[in-house]
Chains A and B, each alone.
Chain A
Amino acid sequence: MGNEKIRISRRKFLKNATMVAGAAFGYAWLKSSQVLLFAAEPKDESLPWYGIVIDIQKCIGCGSCAKACKNENDVPKEPFFFRTWIEQYTVKNDGSVNIVSPNGGIDGFVQTVPTEEIFKSFFVPKMCNHCAKSPCIQVCPVGATYDSPEGVVLIDEKYCIGCRYCVQACPYGCRFIHPVKKVANKCTLCYHRLKKGLAPACMEVCPTGARMYGNLRDKNGELVKFLKEHTTQVLRPHLNTGSKLYYNALSSEVR
């Protein structure tokens, strides 16, 4: 009889304990899964919420931005590691598209398609889109990559385990594994410079002002003014990444 009582209460206790633990676990799971459902929202209203604009019509393909980025951020010089790079798109008369990015465009471009075959040609600088619903943040198994309060996607290099899941997840190909540090690496929007009130290195050196950054919350700011006056588009909008990198005059050939 006494044994029976203890057995039942133990079963009840286990059941209740498991239900409480399950509820807590479920809540934690839902809470952190909200990155899938809602855009990351800045908590501190006093901080800026950064967005980027790249004006394709202004880009001349000089490669200064990619070079400056590599120098500023100690990115290996091999052509397999880029925080930003430039692609040359050439649409031919027959409709086919030729895309090249020799050494990320750092050494400049040479048009290899004969002039009479070219329908149009343009340069597309690429960099991290600093998505508000980043696939890379979603998949990191330890949470080493995160949104800064300013909406900049950053990596904790002391925490990253180097599983490369985020490199696979980024639809824009903006991440790589740093061959010396052996952790994931990506554009930080030159966070160390932003914090001192300086422009990111790539935007500092751009000779035509094709790259801009600014506070999306400042409705009278330059960036919002540009977005108001131009028809801009983000890359791969169907992936719902909440990209904050807006391209002006983006052609549909760009992927």
Chain B
Amino acid sequence: MDPHFQHLYDILAHSQGYIFPNEIDLQWGILIVVYPFITGLVAGAFILASLERVFKVKILKPTYQIALLTALSFLLVATMPLISHLSQPQRAYEIMITPHSSSAMAIFGFVYLWLYYYSRYGSTTGIVW
């Protein structure tokens, strides 16, 4: 028995009922959960900062800088769990340069591009997409 597969044998021994043999190995595990956790931190910290600047909640003034810095630093590592979850991370750029447009995963990258474009130019040109 290959020790590399020991955890799968353990799951197999403890699983109740029947699952397809190929599905004993859980494919989207902890890293996929960490990603929305980090983006949640980014969004939360950013909203905290915006409360002070946009909505003039003066009591939050001391948190403004640290909240924005928190958002920025977590934003920089937000994609790391996703990239390291790929088993061929060196090909990750293929999603951006040869996207398959019926795939939700590929289109999600374009949602980011649209958000970037909109936040950069959208308000000056009045272009929505």
Q: Do A and B come from one complex?
A: yes
Chain A interface (Cβ within 8 Å of chain B)?
11, 14-15, 18, 22, 28-29, 32-33, 35-36, 78-82, 85, 87, 99-101, 104, 126, 138-143, 159-165, 167-168, 172-177, 179, 182-183
The reply to whether the CB of B129 lies closer than 8 angstroms to some CB of chain A is yes
Q: Would you list 28 pairs from A and B whose C-beta atoms are within 8 A, ordered by A residue?
A: A15-B127, A32-B101, A78-B2, A79-B12, A80-B12, A80-B22, A99-B18, A101-B21, A139-B103, A140-B103, A141-B100, A141-B103, A142-B91, A142-B100, A143-B98, A159-B91, A160-B88, A160-B91, A161-B89, A161-B95, A162-B91, A164-B28, A173-B19, A173-B20, A176-B25, A177-B27, A177-B87, A182-B87
Residues of chain A within 8 A of B24, CB atoms compared: 80
The reply to whether the CB of B86 lies closer than 8 angstroms to some CB of chain A is yes
**What's the least CB distance linking B105 to chain A, in Å?**
4
**A142 and B22 within 8 A (CB):** no
The reply to whether the CB of B106 lies closer than 8 angstroms to some CB of chain A is yes
The reply to whether the CB of B99 lies closer than 8 angstroms to some CB of chain A is yes
The reply to whether the CB of B125 lies closer than 8 angstroms to some CB of chain A is yes
**What's the least CB distance linking A106 to chain B, in Å?**
10
Contact of B129 among A22, A28, A174, A176 (CB under 8 A): A22
Chain B interface (Cβ within 8 Å of chain A)?
2, 4-5, 8, 12, 17-25, 27-28, 85-89, 91-92, 94-95, 98-106, 125, 127, 129
Residues of chain A within 8 A of B19, CB atoms compared: 173
Report whether over half of chain B's contact residues are helix, strand or loop; otherwise say mixed.
loop
- Complex-state Cα separation, A131 to B129, whole angstroms: 35
Residues of chain B within 8 A of A85, CB atoms compared: 21
Residues of chain A within 8 A of B104, CB atoms compared: 139
Residues of chain A within 8 A of B127, CB atoms compared: 14-15, 18
Quick one: given A32-B100, A78-B5, A140-B100, are A173 and B88 in contact (CB under 8 Å)? no
Residues of chain B within 8 A of A78, CB atoms compared: 2, 5, 8
Which 7 A-B residue pairings sit nearest by Cβ, starting from the closest? A173-B20, A162-B87, A99-B18, A141-B106, A143-B100, A182-B87, A164-B27
**What's the least CB distance linking A121 to chain B, in Å?**
14
Residues of chain A within 8 A of B100, CB atoms compared: 32, 140-143
**B86 and A162 within 8 A (CB):** yes
- Complex-state Cα separation, A14 to B126, whole angstroms: 10
Quick one: given A15-B127, A143-B100, are A183 and B87 in contact (CB under 8 Å)? yes
**A174 and B22 within 8 A (CB):** yes
Residues of chain B within 8 A of A22, CB atoms compared: 129
